């Protein structure tokens, strides 16, 4: 049995980075950048007015009211590109370039423009620099603004667009095959007969894998039959980067997943992790394809997928951050640690009115309790051999992906 941290290290060590590909900007959200993003212009590209009003020389309006002659107009997209002299003003709009010679913008509300006079009255003085964003004050041309390995999310789209990335290089999507094993399983579309249950793991894994950026192929349900497992696995590994199975990795007489992996010549890198739930998780490789044998219990699937498989999928795409987001919170209910194993317990995170983050572990019906798990937003970490951890303790954990 190896510690979780070591298991994650082993996963990352054996996970190859896939090639990159170009995608059009509208398709880039939720992908991983495979190139540094470099500014090709200053931001702002020119001294920019931040207000609608008048470009002036601050010295001209030190004593107010001050009369200035209007010599032009600078609008967004149509600037006034002449020298502005003392005693002059230029009518200016938000986003427009500030004329040479002006050093401040007075907002229109603090001015008066008598009809047809060709002059403006500035009612209050302004200090030099007011309502002007200087060229390159935000970003200098040539600066690296995002790095290969960063996540592209909606917040990064404006940056990509502004620097001309109509298409952007991202890590290729890993191709994942999922395969639920168990002779008791029927598909969601069927009514379970005697001794049967509906498969949920294939759908859970598919959903999490897509959140992690993968494309997913669901394989037919496989019974607990060594030959059938081998046949399906052999066919699957030929056209995917990563195969995830669920079920059949425990000590039961009909748990054939590992046997089938080995029959196919798999190298097994680990097969027992000091984790609750999820101890019998298997990680290995057949040819070039990574293989994960997750336990069958639906909550164990959610925990082990997010700790191990997700890390591999993100590493394949070149992500610099492969783990879930961590949190620190106040425990809202007593929990018990497990002997010799670190626990990751499903929990709901909530902030109280004072701003304190609380983690409330869900009523633990065991690793098969997927109906309780439906409310989970996080996993609370309880160190191995921690004994009883009381309500009010500070705990750490991982936020589930959304």
Q: Does 280 bind Mg ion (CB under 5 A)?
A: no
Tell me the three state secondary structure of residue 396.
strand
DSSP per-residue letters across 245-312: EES--SSSTT--HHHHHHHTT-EEEES-BSEES-TT-EEEEETTEEEEEE-SSHHHHHHHIIIIIHHH
Q: How far is the CB of 396 from ligand AMP (least distance, A)?
A: 28
Looking at beta carbons only, is 171 or 247 nearer to Mg ion?
247
Looking at beta carbons only, is 162 or 200 nearer to ligand AMP?
200
Triad 214, 215, 219: Cα angle to 5°: 120
Q: In the structure encoding, which two tokens stand for residue 305, read together?
A: 């997928």
Residue 246 interacting entry, from Mg ion, ligand AMP, none, C-beta within 5 to 8 Å by type: ligand AMP
Question: Minimal CB distance to ligand AMP: which residue?
Answer: 296
Looking at beta carbons only, is 180 or 378 nearer to ligand AMP?
180
Helix, strand, coil in percent for the chain, rounding step 5:
20, 35, 45
Q: In the structure encoding, which two tokens stand for residue 70, read together?
A: 């209007």
What residues make contact with ligand AMP under the rule CB under 6 A?
180, 182, 184-185, 197, 199-201, 246-248, 250, 252, 295-298, 368
Residue 200 interacting entry, from ligand AMP, Mg ion, none, C-beta within 5 to 8 Å by type: ligand AMP
Residue 174 interacting entry, from Mg ion, ligand AMP, none, C-beta within 5 to 8 Å by type: none
Burial class (CB in 10 A: 0-12, 13-18, 19+), 122: buried
What are residue 167's phi and psi, to 5 degrees?
A: -130, 150
User: Which part of the chain contacts Mg ion (CB under 5 A), choosing from 54-62, 239-247, 268-276, 330-338?
Assistant: 239-247
For residue 42, give the DSSP letter: -
Q: How far is the CB of 350 from ligand AMP (least distance, A)?
A: 29
Residue 44 interacting entry, from Mg ion, ligand AMP, none, C-beta within 5 to 8 Å by type: none
Q: How far is the CB of 253 from ligand AMP (least distance, A)?
A: 11
Looking at beta carbons only, is 213 or 280 nearer to Mg ion?
280
Q: How many whole angstroms separate alpha carbon 147 and alpha carbon 142?
A: 13
Q: How many whole angstroms separate alpha carbon 232 and alpha carbon 248?
A: 15
Half-sphere exposure of 374 (CA within 13 A, CB side): 4
Looking at beta carbons only, is 247 or 280 nearer to Mg ion?
247
Q: How far is the CB of 363 from Mg ion (least distance, A)?
A: 25
Looking at beta carbons only, is 141 or 250 nearer to ligand AMP?
250
Classify the phi-psi angles of 300: left when phi > 0, otherwise alpha if psi is within -120 to 50, otherwise beta. Answer: alpha
Looking at beta carbons only, is 197 or 390 nearer to ligand AMP?
197
As beta bridge partners, residue 66 has 122
In Å, the largest CA–CA distance within the chain is 97
Looking at beta carbons only, is 259 or 356 nearer to Mg ion?
259
Query: What is the C-alpha R_g of the chain?
Result: 30
Pairing assessment for the beta strands 197-198 and 185-186 based on DSSP bridges: parallel
Per-residue contact string for residues 286-315; x = within reach of Mg ion by CB under 5 A: ----------x-------------------
Task: Tally DSSP H helices, then E strands, for the chain.
Answer: 8, 28
Residue 53 interacting entry, from ligand AMP, Mg ion, none, C-beta within 5 to 8 Å by type: none
Peptide bond into 65 cis (omega under 30): yes
Kindly identify the residues of this chain, within the stretch 141-170, that bind Mg ion according to CB under 5 A: none
Residue 197 interacting entry, from Mg ion, ligand AMP, none, C-beta within 5 to 8 Å by type: ligand AMP
Q: How far is the CB of 367 from ligand AMP (least distance, A)?
A: 8
Q: Does 247 bind Mg ion (CB under 5 A)?
A: yes
Among positions 79, 97, 182, 293, the unique one binding Mg ion when judged by CB under 5 A: 182
Which residue do the tokens 């002449």 mark?
82
Q: How far is the CB of 344 from ligand AMP (least distance, A)?
A: 17
Looking at beta carbons only, is 248 or 346 nearer to ligand AMP?
248
By CB under 5 A, name the binding residues for Mg ion: 182, 247-248, 296
């Amino acid at each position: 049995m190896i510690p979780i941290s070591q298991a994650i290290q082993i996963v990352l060590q054996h996970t190859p980075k896939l090639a990159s590909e170009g995608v059009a900007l509208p398709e880039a959200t939720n992908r991983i950048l495979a190139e540094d993003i470099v500014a090709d212009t200053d931001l702002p590209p020119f001294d920019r007015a931040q207000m609608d009003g008048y470009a002036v020389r601050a010295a001209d309006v030190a004593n107010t009211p001050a009369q200035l002659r209007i010599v032009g107009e600078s609008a967004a997209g149509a600037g006034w590109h002449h020298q502005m002299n003392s005693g002059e003003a230029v009518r200016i709009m938000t986003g427009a370039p500030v004329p040479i010679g002006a050093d401040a913008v007075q907002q229109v509300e603090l001015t008066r423009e008598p009809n047809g006079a060709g002059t403006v009255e500035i009612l209050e003085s302004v200090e030099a620099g007011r309502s002007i964003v200087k060229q390159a004050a935000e970003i200098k041309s040539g600066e690296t603004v995002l790095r290969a390995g960063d996540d592209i999310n909606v917040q990064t789209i404006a940056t990509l667009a502004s620097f001309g990335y109509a298409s952007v290089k991202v890590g290729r999507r890993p191709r994942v095959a999922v395969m639920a094993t168990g002779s008791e399983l029927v598909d969601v579309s069927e009514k379970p007969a005697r001794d049967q249950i509906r498969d949920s793991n294939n759908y859970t894994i598919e959903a999490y894998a897509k959140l992690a950026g993968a494309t997913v192929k669901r394989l037919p349900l496989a019974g607990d039959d060594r030959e059938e497992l081998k046949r399906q696995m052999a066919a699957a590994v030929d056209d995917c980067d990563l195969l995830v199975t669920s079920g059949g990795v425990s000590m039961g007489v009909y748990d054939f997943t590992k046997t089938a992996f080995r029959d196919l010549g798999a190298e097994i890198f680990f097969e027992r992790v000091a984790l609750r739930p999820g101890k019998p998780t298997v990680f290995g490789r057949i040819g070039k394809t990574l293989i994960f044998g997750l336990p069958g219990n639906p909550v164990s699937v959610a925990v082990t997928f997010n700790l191990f498989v997700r890390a591999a999928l993100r590493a394949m795409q070149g992500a610099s951050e492969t783990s879930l987001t961590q949190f620190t919170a106040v425990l809202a209910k007593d929990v018990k640690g497990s002997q010799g194993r670190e626990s990751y317990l499903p929990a709901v995170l909530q902030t109280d009115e004072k701003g304190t983050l609380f983690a409330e572990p869900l009523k633990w019906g065991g690793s098969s309790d997927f109906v309780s798990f439906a409310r989970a937003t996080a996993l609370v970490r309880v160190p191995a051999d921690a004994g009883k951890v009381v309500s009010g303790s500070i705990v750490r954990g991982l936020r589930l992906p959304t």
